[in-house]
Structure 1
Amino acid sequence: MRNISDIIEKYIKEILDSSDIIKLKRSELAEKFQCVPSQINYVLKTRFSIERGYVVESKRGGGGYIQVIKVRPVTDAELIDEMIGLIGYKVTQNMAESIIIHLLEEDVISDREARLMLTVIDHTVLDIDIPLRDELRANLMRAMLQSLTYSR
């Protein structure tokens, strides 16, 4: 059975299929899924990040809402360039995975390419101490993304 985070993510993505910009009320979502509002925050933070192609804005207060925007790049090369721009001096495994998942969801890379990339950036493969591991991961991600740009 899927967990509540997966269900909430699927629901929000289904709404986003009909519109690239949606406004949601955290309390209404929490009530709909019978969870605490912090669960909604968790889903938005982990599943709707810029690395995954979303911008989330929050307006606080009584009439507050959360706006989720699906960012749609014009070309694959533009998306790859945006992802390269997100990678700094070092990158965590979670951020790298989010970038790879985004590229897969946008059909920029195949399932096979995604699996290979996920294997390369895994902490069990990069068996060195942090922060060197995150620096090496950033270099590997940049190199893989740049090779995608030239092969398209």
Structure 2
Amino acid sequence: MRNISDIIEQYLKNILHESPGSMIEIQRNELADQFSCVPSQINYVISTRFTLEKGYVVESKRGGGGYIRIQRIQLPAELAIQEHLRHTIGDRIEQAAAEGLVYQLEEARVITRREANLLRAAVSRDALIVKLPLRDEVRASLLRAMLLSLLMNKK
């Protein structure tokens, strides 16, 4: 059975997908009432599952008329994805950022779930048994090479 965080995340993704401009504004208290949970549960879901690394920009305004705005960042067009990857990955990349990028590419259906799982396994700290900062450099090199290879073979 899915937990309440998964349900709230899926609900927000569904309304984001349906909204023009891939942006929504929500009232935290209203959403908490809708799901019969505490408002901090909504904060938890948004702060952990709608991050910049995962392709979202979150803005909030507190107070009586406050809101939380979530906007999906669109990946560049196919032709610009290679440059986007080079810029995003750079010379080194931390595990959380690498996983966020893989998540974003999977969500945008640029890569399959299976490919995403393989990428995550290959760049995990468990697989890269070298000390920092070399580990982040090796991770960047591997991730960039694997993603570019995947993208070139999809054409």
Q: TM-score range by the shorter chain?
A: 0.7 to 0.9
Moved more, 142-151 or 21-30: 142-151
Moved more, 115-124 or 70-79: 70-79
Moved more, 67-76 or 7-16: 67-76
Letter in 1 for 2:8: I
Offset from partner CA, 1:56-92 (integer Å, 9 cap, x none): 1112222111111122335234345434433355433
What stretches of structure 2 of length at least 5 have no aligned partner?
A: none
Determine what percentage of the aligned residue pairs are the same residue.
49
- Structure 2 counterpart of 1:69: 71
- Aligned mates of 1:74, 1:135 — CA distance in 2: 24
**How many pairs were matched up?**
152
- Structure 2 counterpart of 1:102: 104
- Structure 2 counterpart of 1:135: 137
- Structure 2 counterpart of 1:53: 55
Offset at residue 107 of structure 1 (A): 1.8
- Structure 1 counterpart of 2:23: 21
Does the Cα contact within 8 Å between 1:84 and 1:145 map onto a contact in 2?
Answer: no
- Aligned mates of 1:48, 1:77 — CA distance in 2: 26
Q: Could you state the TM-score of these two structures normalised by the residue count of structure 1?
A: 0.81
Offset at residue 46 of structure 1 (A): 2.3
- Aligned mates of 1:38, 1:90 — CA distance in 2: 34
Letter in 2 for 1:70: R
What stretches of structure 1 of length at least 5 have no aligned partner?
A: none
- Structure 2 counterpart of 1:93: 95
Q: Could you state the TM-score of these two structures normalised by the residue count of structure 2?
A: 0.80
